[in-house]
């Protein structure tokens, strides 16, 4: 690799649990309501298992969890089929669009971190498990709060599909004019999001405290003492590390220091 371009060019952020919606509540709460409306109640911890996938895929994956699958079979006499997923997805979408604003608050430290990155000349990309209709509702709310990425890819913008495939991350690379995928960092709070970045050939940073695996609001997290925080943090860190994340931190506010470490590794000729 030429010495000319051995520096970071872009950071590609996830949305819920990463930049907005501390604890990633918007998707899970709607899923609880949708499954409950057809007489198959699911638990919050079940709704969180497939987080990071496109929402149709998320619903399908939920239907395959052993406990949910058993309840579905008890209710309907058969396993969940694609037509059932379609029906639940049609119920899910308008509710998600209507409620995404209630969970659109920026995660503490996000604006300062993004401002620091822009001050270093980095481009800001983004992608999400949300479909375009949800992103179209969320983007202006985020902009009003001060966050406007240079590019955003929704999970249904591309025909190959969403995570854990690399396509949304690579679409950002193309649109942002990044010269080398190894000069990109993917930041995400879910396993599929980390896998997305790795498959795209990027550095990856997992977020434990603000994300889906811990699943607490900012106020709930702040109210914990150090011992309780570590009890919640440890499984989330282990999950993201097992997925292959190069680094795991609590929230996006800690990202600038991690980028210093990645820059130093690039200068030494290391690759993701």
Q: Provide the percentage of residues in the chain whose pLDDT is more than 90.
A: 85
Q: Which residue out of 14, 57, 84, 189 is catalytically annotated?
A: 14
Q: Is 9 helix (H, G, I), strand (E, B) or coil?
A: coil
Q: pLDDT tens for residues 87-122?
A: 999 999 899 899 899 988 999 999 999 999 999 999
Average pLDDT of span 148-177: 94
* CA atoms of 167 and 161, how far apart (whole Å): 7
Looking up tokens 């949300």 gives 130
Per-residue pLDDT band for 5 (boundaries 50, 70, 90) equals: low
* CA atoms of 4 and 58, how far apart (whole Å): 42
In 3D, which of 5, 34, 111 has the Cα closest to residue 26? Answer: 34
In angstroms and rounded to an integer, the radius of gyration of the C-alpha atoms of the chain is 18
Per the prediction, the chain carries an average pLDDT of: 94
Q: For the chain, what's the residue count?
A: 272
DSSP 100-151: GGGG-PBPTTHHHHHHHHHHTT-EEEEE-SS-HHHHHHHHHHHHHHT---SE
Q: pLDDT tens for residues 183-202?
A: 999 999 999 999 999 999 99
Cβ atoms within 10 Å of 244's Cβ, excluding its own: 15
pLDDT at residue 159, rounded to an integer: 84
* CA atoms of 272 and 258, how far apart (whole Å): 14
User: Is the confidence at residue 161, as pLDDT, over 80?
Assistant: no
Q: pLDDT tens for residues 202-221?
A: 999 999 999 999 999 999 99
Exposed, middle or buried by CB within 10 Å (0-12, 13-18, 19+), for 3?
exposed
Residue 75 designated active-site: no
* CA atoms of 148 and 192, how far apart (whole Å): 24
When comparing pLDDT for 11 and 2, which is higher? Answer: 11
Residue 86 designated active-site: no
Per-residue pLDDT band for 52 (boundaries 50, 70, 90) equals: confident
In 3D, which of 255, 232, 15 has the Cα closest to residue 143? Answer: 15
Verdict on whether the full-model pTM lies above 0.85: yes
Q: Write the Ramachandran bin of 204: left for phi over 0, alpha for psi from -120 to 50, otherwise beta.
A: beta
Average pLDDT of span 125-145: 95
Domains located in the chain, CATH noted: 3-25+105-267 (3.40.50.1000), 26-102 (1.10.150.240)
Q: pLDDT tens for residues 26-38?
A: 888 899 999 999 9
pLDDT at residue 184, rounded to an integer: 98
Q: What angle do CA 26, 28, 220 make, to 5 degrees?
A: 70
Q: Which residue out of 21, 33, 55, 189 is catalytically annotated?
A: 55
pLDDT at residue 1, rounded to an integer: 44
In 3D, which of 46, 45, 77 has the Cα closest to residue 64? Answer: 46
pLDDT at residue 4, rounded to an integer: 53
């Amino acid at each position: 690799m030429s010495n000319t371009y051995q520096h970071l060019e872009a950071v590609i952020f996830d949305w819920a649990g990463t930049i907005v919606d501390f604890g990633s509540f918007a998707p899970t709460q709607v899923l609880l309501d949708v499954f409950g409306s057809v007489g198959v109640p699911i638990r919050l911890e079940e709704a969180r298992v497939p987080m990071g996938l496109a929402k149709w895929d998320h619903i399908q994956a939920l239907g395959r969890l052993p406990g949910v699958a058993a309840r579905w079979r008890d209710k309907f006499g058969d396993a969940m089929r694609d037509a059932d997923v379609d029906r639940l997805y049609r119920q899910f979408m308008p509710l998600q669009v209507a409620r995404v604003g209630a969970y659109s608050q920026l995660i503490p430290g996000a604006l300062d971190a993004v401002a620091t990155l822009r001050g270093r000349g980095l481009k800001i990309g983004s992608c999400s498990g949300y479909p375009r209709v949800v992103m179209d509702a969320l983007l202006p709310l985020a902009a009003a709060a001060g966050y406007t990425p240079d590019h955003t890819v929704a999970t249904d913008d591309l025909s190959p599909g969403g995570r854990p495939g690399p396509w949304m991350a690579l679409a950002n690379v193309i649109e942002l004019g990044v010269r080398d995928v190894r000069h990109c960092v993917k930041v995400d709070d879910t396993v599929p999001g980390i896998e997305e970045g790795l498959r795209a050939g990027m550095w990856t940073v997992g977020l434990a405290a603000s994300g889906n695996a811990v699943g607490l609001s900012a106020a709930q997290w702040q109210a914990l003492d150090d011992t309780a925080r570590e009890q919640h943090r440890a499984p989330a860190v282990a999950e993201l590390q097992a997925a292959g994340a190069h680094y795991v931190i609590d929230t996006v506010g800690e990202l600038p220091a991690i980028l210093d470490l990645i820059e130093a590794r690039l200068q030494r000729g290391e690759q993701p």
